[in-house]
Amino acid sequence: MTRNRVKRRLRAIAHERLTHMPPGIYVVRALPQSARSEFIYLERDFDVALSRVLSEDSQ
């Protein structure tokens, strides 16, 4: 149940950002402590990770 909640939250976060992301395949891995994180912190961490990936991709 907890894993599904994290999965739903991450899916919602990713869905909001799909239009701003270049085409490709993205793999998102959530660590166990993600289950205790509030949605706003998951969003922040997702955005930080995505910006790192996109900046590495542009180099």
Instruction: Encode pLDDT of 2-58 as tens digits.
Output: 778 999 999 999 998 888 888 888 888 888 899 999 999 999 999 999 899 888 766
| Residue 23: predicted pLDDT | 86
Give how far Cα 10 sits from Cα of 5, 13, 58, 59, Å: 9, 5, 24, 27
Structural domain tally of the chain? 1
Give how far Cα 43 sits from Cα of 21, 28, 39, 48, Å: 15, 12, 6, 9
Question: Does residue 59 surpass a pLDDT of 70?
Answer: no
Residue 46 belongs to domain spanning: 1-57
Element spanning 9, H or E? helix 2-17
pLDDT digits (tens, 9 = 90+) for 19-30: 888 888 888 888
Q: How far from each other are the two terminal CA atoms of the chain, in whole angstroms? A: 39
